[in-house]
Amino acid sequence: MSKPKALVTAAYSEEGLAFLREHYDVEYHNWMEQGRAFSEDELLDMVEDKELIIVEVCDLHKKVVDKAKNVKIVGCCRGLRGDDNTLDVPALTERKIPVLFAPGRNLNAVAEYTIMLTLAAMKKAKASTKWLNANNWKSWLDFYITFRTAELQGKRVGILGFGNIGKRVAKLFNAFEAEVVSYDPFITDEKVYEERNVKMVDLETLLKTSDVVTLHMNVSDESKGFIGKEELAMMKNGAFLINSARAVLVDHDALLDAVKSKKLGGVAMDVFYSEPATTENEPLLAFDNVFATPHMAGTTNDVIVNHSRMINDGIKALQNNEKPDFVLNPEVL
């Protein structure tokens, strides 16, 4: 008896593919190997006879969904955090096709990266490496006079957003013996914070008293521009702002003004208002007190292992007539 057919365009672990091949005739086209997502026309040529489709960055819009006449399960190897429009979920839901997804696949990767960003900003990594590579180290103690940096130990770190990534970030900052506080309007039980050695505070207190403010909020209409001119003005002079979440959480012009005026001691960011970011479309990149990286917090190999396991766990649940842990449209089950 022939197996049902599956299309996987996501990067997938060998172990994950081995499981799929036990149950499906798998057509595997890793988008990373060609360096781009597959186009709509390319997908239209691949989806028609597939019962399982697993994507990561490819768009599954209505035209592709309609062409996939046999599809019974769709998996998306991302967290789908509220600012995503790559899947036509209504079209899939109308056909009662469950959409599996992988929230938290990069939870630890982003949390660890947040620590790196924070240390890079506090230790002036950009300015010092630029200085060194420009051959400015002329005498032995030049570095000691030129660069005065900061330590995490004993500093107050304010976490905006206390979801899964925020909680993990808190644990890592606690390891540095920082004083960790957090504000999240959706989590109001103090015990949730206290259990993790974190103090629950209001937004104004967090901004006015934190040496480091780090963002870990989902994007919504309410959270866009959450940190604006007024909020930046509240922050301590010389404080550090860290953003490994989404650029739109911070008002760009207000942030640029705060950087120019040196209100902030430094900014570290892995996300941008326009991506790909360049020195031509992102003026923040010109400043030595802005440490920036190209949206790579979640690029660990472990993330691929994680999302492969999560999607496969969802498939196993459906095979056993159980509800998957992570399904975007549970009403179809």
The 3-state secondary structure of 1-13 reads CCCCEEEECCCCC
Q: Is 178 within 8 Å of 189 (Cβ atoms)?
A: no
At 263, list the tokens: 């209100």
User: Could you tell me if 222 and 80 lie in one domain?
Assistant: no
User: Could you tell me if 251 and 165 lie in one domain?
Assistant: yes
In sign, the C-alpha dihedral spanning 228, 230, 235, 237 is: positive
Who's near 215: CB < 8 A, 6+ residues apart?
160, 161, 227, 241, 242, 243, 244, 245, 246, 249, 250
- For 235-270, the DSSP string reads SPTT-EEEESS-GGGB-HHHHHHHHHTT-SSEEEES
pLDDT reported for residue 84: 64
Q: Which amino acid is residue 215, in one-letter code?
A: L
At 150, list the tokens: 């900061």
User: Could you tell me if 143 and 98 lie in one domain?
Assistant: no
Q: Which amino acid is residue 75, in one-letter code?
A: G
Q: pLDDT tens, 216-238?
A: 999 889 999 999 999 999 999 99
- pLDDT < 50 stretches in the chain: none
pLDDT reported for residue 298: 94
At 41, list the tokens: 């026309």
User: Could you tell me if 112 and 178 lie in one domain?
Assistant: yes
User: Could you tell me if 152 and 280 lie in one domain?
Assistant: yes
Phi and psi angles of residue 269, each rounded to the nearest 5 degrees, phi first = -145, 145
- For 205-239, the DSSP string reads HHHHH-SEEEE-----TTTTT-B-HHHHHHSPTT-
Closest CA to 274 of 300, 297, 254, 294: 294
User: Could you tell me if 175 and 88 lie in one domain?
Assistant: no
User: Could you tell me if 144 and 219 lie in one domain?
Assistant: yes
275 counts as catalytic? yes
User: Could you tell me if 147 and 274 lie in one domain?
Assistant: yes
User: Could you tell me if 194 and 134 lie in one domain?
Assistant: yes
CA–CA dist 325, 313 (Å, integer): 8
User: Could you tell me if 153 and 258 lie in one domain?
Assistant: yes
216 counts as catalytic? no
At 234, list the tokens: 């509240």
Q: Is 162 within 8 Å of 187 (Cβ atoms)?
A: yes
Range of the domain at 69: 5-105+300-332
Closest CA to 31 of 15, 50, 54, 48: 54
Which SS3 state, helix, strand or coil, does residue 188 take? Answer: coil
What is the tally of structural domains in the chain? 2
Q: pLDDT tens, 32-84?
A: 999 999 999 999 999 999 999 999 999 999 999 999 999 999 999 998 765 56
Query: Looking at 78, 246, 282, 307, which residue is catalytic?
Result: 246
pTM over 0.85: yes
User: Could you tell me if 167 and 124 lie in one domain?
Assistant: yes
Query: Looking at 15, 190, 275, 322, which residue is catalytic?
Result: 275
In sign, the C-alpha dihedral spanning 208, 209, 210, 216 is: negative
- CA-based Rg of the chain, rounded to a whole angstrom? 23
Tally Cβ neighbours within 10 Å of residue 274. 10
Torsion angle in degrees (nearest 10) through CA of 269, 270, 271, 276: 120
78 counts as catalytic? no
Q: Which amino acid is residue 94, in one-letter code?
A: E
Closest CA to 82 of 200, 220, 175: 220
Query: Looking at 81, 95, 252, 295, which residue is catalytic?
Result: 295
User: Could you tell me if 98 and 112 lie in one domain?
Assistant: no
**CATH number for 43:** 3.40.50.720
